[in-house]
A and B are shown apart, each in its own frame.
Chain A
Amino acid sequence: MAALQELQLHALGDATRRAILARLREGPLAVGVLARAFPVSRPAISQHLKVLKDARLVLDRAEGNRRLYRLDPKGFESLREYFDQFWTEALDAFKRRVEKPARRKDGR
């Protein structure tokens, strides 16, 4: 788990890879299409995709003679990580609200 998270952090530490993920949010894409969208070589894109795949952020499948990449919805076990932060913020806000009674108690 920790190892995967590190892989994910590493994978996301690169601007091109984040941009690739952003593109894939719109739907699955072939390597060739991605390569044309970025100012880097196709082998470089393939290498980035491999890093993303190892981090379980993307999935690939063969379609004819192309390889399609898409986001891996299961890869994001790190949802937990997200909610850890979310609940910290939310409970802080809750505490502030409880200890500083609402100025207007009417309505809403």
Chain B
Amino acid sequence: MMTTMTEKSTEPVVAKTVTVKASVEDAFRIFTTELDSWWPRSHHIGKAPMKKMIIETAKGGRCYSEQIDGTECDWATVLVWEPPRRLVIAWQITPEWSYERDIEKSSEVEVHFTPVGNGTTRVDLEHRFFSRHGAGGDSSRKAVDSEDGWGMLLELFAKKVEEAGEN
């Protein structure tokens, strides 16, 4: 399990662990500098298809995608940069799938890299504070023009429902 760095919260989190056959340095480097080499291509908030996913490797660094039309889309900011052991980013995407400037209204992703012997590394990821995304109050702005966002969530739910069958 990973240690929580900031405030404790009773809110449910997403916690994932994966063990990889690589040194902690390699794992950290591929996770960050080489983010583009593994990031699912369908996940970005640009209007045009995504060309490249980039994370600036320093505290305060931007995480953004470059789109094929030359635009850039910010979606996160590096809050903690401690290579090769720890990384925290503010996840600045609204529930409507647009960019959230206010870090206070963003969720947070913390990733720990722990060597576990034999040249393997355990990666613990925690995504938390989802309710902060709802802190925007009345978001009556007409944000939802993308196919993703709600559409994506709805599809996901629909799939789940189908999986669950009749009950």
8 Å CB contact of B39 from A28, A84, A90:
A90
Chain A interface (Cβ < 8 Å from any Cβ of B): 1, 8-9, 12-13, 18, 21-22, 25-28, 70-71, 73-74, 76-99, 102, 108
Chain A residues positioned under 8 Å from B154 (CB to CB) = 12, 18, 21-22
Main secondary structure of the interface of B (DSSP, over half): mixed
Question: What's the A-B contact tally at a CB cutoff of 8 Å?
Answer: 112
Chain A residue contacts of B96, Cβ below 8 A: 73
CA distance A21 to B150 in the complex (A): 9
Q: Are A94's CB and B95's CB within 8 A?
A: no
CB–CB B30/A77 < 8 A: no
**Beta-carbon contact of B156 and A85 below 8 Å:** yes
- Say if the beta carbon of B50 comes within 8 Å of chain A: no
Determine the main DSSP class of A at the interface with B: helix
The yes or no answer to B8 lying at the interface (CB within 8 A) is no
Point out residues on B near A: beta carbons under 8 Å.
12-14, 16, 18, 20-22, 26-27, 30-31, 34, 36-40, 43, 52, 94-96, 107, 123, 125, 127, 130-131, 133-134, 136, 139-140, 142, 144, 149-154, 156-158, 160-161, 164
- Contact assessment for B131 and A98 in the assembled complex, using a CB-CB cutoff below 8 Å: no
| Apart from A12-B154, A79-B107, A90-B40, 18 more pairs, CB < 8 Å | A1-B12, A9-B164, A21-B154, A25-B144, A25-B149, A71-B150, A82-B152, A83-B127, A85-B156, A86-B43, A87-B14, A87-B127, A92-B18, A97-B30, A98-B26, A98-B30, A99-B22, A108-B37
Q: Which of A78, A89, A94, A97 has the most CB of B within 10 A?
A: A94
B40–A93 contact, CB under 8 A? yes
Picked from A8, A13, A25, A91, the residue with its CB within 8 Å of the CB of B150 is A25
